[in-house]
Amino acid sequence: MTLVVIPAFNEAATVGEVVRGIRRLGMESVVVDDGSSDDTATQAAAAGATVLRIPVNVGVGGALRTGFRHAVMRGATRVVQVDADLQHGPDQIPLLLAAADAGHELVIGSRFSGSDYAVSGPRRWAMRLLARMVSRRIGVTLTDVTSGFRVISEPLLTTFAEEYPAEYLGDTVEALLLAHRHRARITEVSVVMAARAAGEPTPRLVAAGHFFRILLTLLVKPRRRLAE
């Protein structure tokens, strides 16, 4: 069984449309309401999603771990990770699932491998640097390591349900390092992404602090790979 997990924080304006798009694909969605102060949960439920409510905001990583645990408990063997702000079009999900069907346990939807998604300034520089460093670390060429549009399949799904990083950028970059340590097969596919339709981006100073934390993580000596 495949479930679509959607972390959402104050995304009442868009989450219903995301859920309805997923339903049109014949897929079931689970919205993890991460302590929203608006009616995100109500809109998601009205659109047909199962809603898991976290009473306080724990961040994307914590919300995703909750969704992954729910999926494993439901008996799902695959999760599609989708944002609630309409950046990730449901019509692009089949592209990721095709790569997962080819034997990859972690598939990333890339904004940059063959598409013209526009990101400029320091943010684009930072994303390129992270992509190069992560690619070198895991031995797989990736262009969009901060993308939150992903498919996670077993046995990696159970690992993520137990160990998923909770801090900002941990849910993207550090999750890739975790998948690599567990010898997951990782790939990316080119997808079309839209600009954020609602919600607020992470403040620049907060994002910068976590960016340098991730750089330190990538610069330290890698932990020894798991035993055969």
Provide the CATH number for the domain around residue 134. 3.90.550.10
- Establish if 227 belongs to a structural domain: no
The rounded distance, in Å, linking the Cα atoms of 85 and 203 is 17
- Pick the closest to residue 29 from 74, 61, 59, 60 (CA basis): 74
- Whole-structure pTM value: 0.85
Helix (H, G, I), strand (E, B) or coil at 60: helix
Task: Kindly give the confidence (pLDDT) of every residue in the chain, 228 residues in length, as a single tens digit, with 9 standing for 90 and above.
Answer: 999 999 999 999 999 999 999 999 999 999 999 999 999 999 999 999 999 999 999 999 999 999 999 999 999 999 999 999 999 999 999 999 999 999 999 999 998 865 556 565 666 778 888 899 899 999 999 999 999 999 999 999 999 999 998 776 667 888 999 999 999 999 999 999 886 555 555 545 455 555 665 566 666 655 544 444
| Tokens standing for residue 88 | 């990730």
The rounded distance, in Å, linking the Cα atoms of 83 and 89 is 9
- Establish if 225 belongs to a structural domain: no
The rounded distance, in Å, linking the Cα atoms of 207 and 186 is 25
Based on the structure, what is the number of domains in the chain? 1
The rounded distance, in Å, linking the Cα atoms of 34 and 58 is 6
- Establish if 8 belongs to a structural domain: yes
What separation, in Å, do the N-terminal and C-terminal C-alpha atoms of the chain show? 29
- Establish if 226 belongs to a structural domain: no
The rounded distance, in Å, linking the Cα atoms of 156 and 105 is 6
- Establish if 224 belongs to a structural domain: no
The rounded distance, in Å, linking the Cα atoms of 149 and 153 is 14
- Establish if 141 belongs to a structural domain: yes
* Burial environment of residue 184 by CB neighbours within 10 A (0 to 12, 13 to 18, 19 or more): buried
The rounded distance, in Å, linking the Cα atoms of 215 and 145 is 13
Q: Which domain holds residue 93?
A: 2-219
- Establish if 37 belongs to a structural domain: yes
- Establish if 228 belongs to a structural domain: no
